[in-house]
């Protein structure tokens, strides 16, 4: 795809930003989503402070009816969509006994900026436990030339919010920091793809080589995440659903290292 080189560069920058054995500074999957912590989160907040202030003057801050999730959005439609996606995220993790422990804030912004680069789909700020998501109207340029481009925009956009909320809930339940970027992203991608309607999910999965997608001997790893996050997402979903107990994988990830994810690059 035409954007693979920028994806690789951003991924490498995120990798350099973390130190083995410490909390990740920025955990990113290609140019779409990122978890920011410590200095990276500070940079992200600094870059977006004016945008947040502008949004605050125009948007409505409101608690979702069915979950302890506060949404700041410029329209009632955005608020309903964000709450629906958040509820779905909490339900999916709830099936595995993983629950929201503290209120989570979801903020729909004109655009979200990567801590080290340009516009991205969304970001989870671990320090403020805040999900930032780019407005749906500004998504098309970000999905161009990716497998997401063939999906109905509203369905993909909803799944994107699911992805970020999964990060938020998993973060609240971590027993210790994940050892690799792949370990952070596996749950978010697996459940993001599961949240899609079956026919839309199948269209996405058919974008990839089916033999490679179903390979059980290949470990999930950071290089694949950085160079092809879309394939990583499809494999994460397939692996999660093909397992006898996918929930056990998520719980094990909260505890620390798991056998199906390769150790981090040094």
* 9: confidence class by pLDDT, cuts 50, 70, 90: very low
User: Are residues 241 and 213 in contact, defined by beta-carbon separation less than 8 angstroms?
Assistant: no
Note the pLDDT of residue 51: 52
For the residues 29-38, what does the mean pLDDT come to?
53
Sorting pLDDT into bands at 50, 70 and 90, what band is 250? very high
**What CA–CA distance (Å, rounded) separates 164 from 80?**
16
d(CA 150, CA 247): 29
Segment 149-178 shows an average pLDDT of 96
- Higher per-residue pLDDT: 75 or 7: 75
Q: Which of 9-13, 85-89, 244-248 has the highest mean pLDDT?
A: 85-89
Q: How confident is the prediction for the chain on average, in pLDDT?
A: 82
Q: How far apart are CA 190 and CA 169, in angstroms?
A: 14
Res. 102: pLDDT tops 90: yes
The pLDDT confidence band at residue 29, using thresholds 50, 70 and 90, is: low
Give the pLDDT score at 176.
Answer: 86
Q: pTM of this prediction?
A: 0.82
Q: What is the mean pLDDT of residues 211-228?
A: 89
For 182-191, what is the mean pLDDT?
96
Q: Supply the pLDDT for residue 239.
A: 94
Give the mean pLDDT of 10-15: 34
pLDDT score, position 246: 94
- Does CATH number 1.10.390 belong to domain 4-255? yes
- Show me where the domains of the chain are located: 4-255
């Amino acid at each position: 795809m035409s954007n693979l080189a920028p994806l690789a560069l951003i991924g490498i920058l995120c990798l350099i930003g973390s130190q083995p054995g410490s909390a990740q500074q920025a955990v990113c999957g290609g140019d779409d989503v990122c978890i920011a912590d410590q200095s990276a989160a500070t940079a992200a907040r600094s870059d977006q402070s004016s945008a947040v202030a502008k949004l605050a003057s125009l948007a409505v801050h409101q608690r979702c009816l069915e979950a302890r999730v506060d949404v700041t959005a410029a329209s009632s439609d955005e608020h309903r969509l964000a709450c629906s996606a958040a509820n779905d995220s909490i339900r999916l993790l709830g099936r595995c006994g993983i629950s929201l422990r503290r209120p989570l804030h979801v903020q729909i912004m004109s655009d979200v900026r990567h801590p080290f680069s340009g516009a991205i789909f969304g970001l989870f700020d671990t320090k403020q436990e805040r999900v930032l998501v780019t407005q749906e109207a500004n998504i098309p340029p970000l999905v161009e030339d990716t497998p997401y481009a063939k999906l109905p925009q509203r369905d993909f956009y909803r799944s994107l919010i699911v992805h970020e909320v999964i990060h938020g809930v998993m973060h609240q339940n971590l027993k210790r920091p994940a050892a690799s970027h792949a370990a952070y992203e596996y749950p978010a991608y697996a459940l993001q793809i599961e949240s899609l309607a079956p026919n839309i999910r199948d269209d996405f999965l058919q974008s990839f080589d089916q033999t490679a997608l179903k390979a059980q001997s290949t470990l999930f790893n950071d290089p694949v995440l950085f160079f092809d996050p879309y394939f990583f997402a499809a494999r994460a979903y397939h692996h999660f659903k093909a397992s006898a107990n996918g929930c056990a994988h998520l719980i094990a990830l909260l505890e620390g290292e798991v056998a199906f994810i390769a150790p981090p690059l040094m």
